[in-house]
């Protein structure tokens, strides 16, 4: 393997989905415009092959996600969304992903209350069934989380407006748990599309959080800043995102799409990273994808960044069925280890 030196890329962007529907605007599945309840979901069986440090490479069949959701609208101007994941490979048992109620009468002052995705990050708020690569970027998994959290959000914009905003007050603890202190985090995002092919935006997060049940433990002053960019030319799509993070106290690593375990750490840390990806929709229902990531887990340490390059191919059998093949080449700047992956996933939506 070849070692790489990375220069930090700082770009700005916007969220992919700008639907007026409150549910799709929060990075979940799209709801029907009709009144009443709809049942939707998707499954993602997959096969993985990965290298190990002891040379004994391994492979396994698994489920990335197996989800079902109830969603809909109630007269007047009320929508709701409830989703459960049944894949034990993610949590060990079925668990609640989203559960929120929204008031949507005013286009520029909609309100959501419950558990939903944090408004930080382009890729975090891309629905899992619409990701262009099988796994999200490491910088997003590590720095934009917790991916889902309890709180309230004010947001606005329409399908035709160039500007969208999201402002949320959240526990910033972890999904399905109440926090045990008075502190909350403020998170937000503003996106703007000055031209038909260009979308830019940024997001932020600031607050005090506590990572365990001891109310006397040290608090973490948590800061996040991100920039995003999206360019669309016909069948060509380019996306990029940069996130900077500073934690003054206990912090976590891990989690995210690739199933890495969540670990708790003491002390403070400053981290950052970016990704850039490009893809092209061909006339044969094939979509080649290339993604480049760089992540620095501690800015105070030299030669500490990690590079991940994903070479992907997506094949769309129809509107509901997709096959994805990804080769993930990983290179550590300090000491490179054998940990590349090949992942094959089949997705069916219903």
Question: pLDDT for 214-225, tens place per residue?
Answer: 555 667 899 999
Tokens of 12: 């700005």
Is 335 part of a structural domain of the chain? yes
Cβ-Cβ contacts under 8 Å for 196 (sequence gap 6 or more)? none
Residues facing 39 on adjacent strands: 70
Q: How far apart are CA 162 and CA 225, in angstroms?
A: 22
145 falls within a domain: yes
Q: What is the pLDDT of residue 266?
A: 83
Per-residue model confidence (pLDDT) at position 11: 33
Instruction: Give how far Cα 266 sits from Cα of 52, 94, 249, 263, Å.
Output: 28, 30, 6, 10
pLDDT of residue 260: 76
Q: Which residues constitute the domain of residue 258?
A: 22-349
Residue 148 in any domain: the answer is: yes
Of the candidates 135, 314, 129, the one whose C-alpha atom is nearest the C-alpha of residue 237 is 314
Answer yes or no: is 164 within a domain: yes
Long-range contacts of 191-195 (CB under 8 A, 24+ apart): 191/13, 191/14, 191/15, 191/18, 191/163, 191/164, 191/165, 191/228, 192/14, 192/162, 192/163, 192/164, 193/14, 193/18, 193/162, 193/163, 194/162
Pick out the chain residues at pLDDT < 70: 1-35, 90-92, 174-177, 210-218
138, 116 Cβ separation under 8 angstroms: no
Q: Report, in this order, helix, strand and coil percent for the chain, each rounded to 5.
A: 5, 55, 40
Read off the tokens for 236: 């060509």
CATH number of the domain where residue 80 is located: 2.40.160.10
Write out pLDDT tens, residues 57-115.
899 999 889 999 999 999 889 999 999 999 877 666 788 999 999 999 999 999 999 99
Question: Does some domain include residue 180?
Answer: yes
Residue 17, domain member (yes or no) = no
**For the chain, what is the domain count?**
1
Residue 206 lies in a domain: yes
Task: Say what the pTM is.
Answer: 0.88
Is 5 among the domain residues?
A: no
Count CB neighbours of 336 within 10 A: 15
CB neighbours (10 Å) of residue 317?
12
């Amino acid at each position: 393997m070849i070692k790489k030196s990375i220069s930090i890329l700082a770009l700005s962007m916007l969220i992919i989905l700008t639907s007026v529907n409150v549910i799709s605007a929060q990075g979940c599945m799209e709801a029907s415009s009709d009144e009443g309840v709809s049942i939707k979901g998707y499954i993602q069986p997959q096969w993985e092959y990965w290298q190990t440090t002891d040379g004994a490479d391994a492979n396994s069949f698994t489920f990335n996600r197996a989800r079902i959701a109830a969603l809909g609208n109630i007269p007047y101007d009320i929508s709701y969304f409830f989703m459960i994941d049944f894949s034990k490979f993610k949590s060990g048992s079925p668990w609640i992903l989203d559960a929120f109620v929204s008031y949507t009468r005013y286009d520029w002052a909609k309100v959501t209350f419950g558990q939903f995705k944090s408004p930080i990050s382009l890729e975090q708020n891309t629905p899992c069934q619409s990701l262009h690569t099988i796994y999200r970027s490491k910088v997003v998994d590590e720095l934009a989380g917790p991916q889902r959290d309890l709180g309230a959000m004010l947001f606005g914009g329409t399908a035709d407006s160039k500007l969208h905003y999201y402002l949320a007050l959240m526990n910033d603890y972890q999904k399905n748990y109440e926090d045990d202190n008075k502190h909350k985090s403020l998170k937000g995002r503003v996106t703007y599309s000055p031209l038909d092919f260009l979308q830019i935006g940024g997001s932020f997060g600031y607050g005090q959080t506590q990572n365990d049940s001891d109310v006397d433990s040290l608090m973490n002053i948590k800061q996040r800043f991100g920039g995003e960019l999206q360019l669309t030319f016909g069948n060509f799509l380019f996306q990029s995102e940069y996130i900077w993070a500073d934690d003054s106290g206990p912090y976590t690593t891990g989690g995210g799409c690739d199933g890495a375990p969540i670990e708790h750490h003491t002390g403070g840390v400053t981290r950052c990273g970016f990704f850039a990806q490009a893809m092209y929709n061909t006339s044969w229902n094939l979509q080649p994808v290339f993604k480049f990531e760089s992540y620095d887990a501690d800015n105070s340490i030299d030669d500490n960044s990690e590079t991940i390059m994903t070479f992907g191919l997506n094949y769309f059998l129809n509107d509901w069925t997709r096959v994805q093949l990804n080769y993930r080449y990983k290179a550590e700047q300090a000491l490179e280890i054998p940990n590349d992956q090949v992942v094959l996933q089949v997705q069916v939506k219903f």
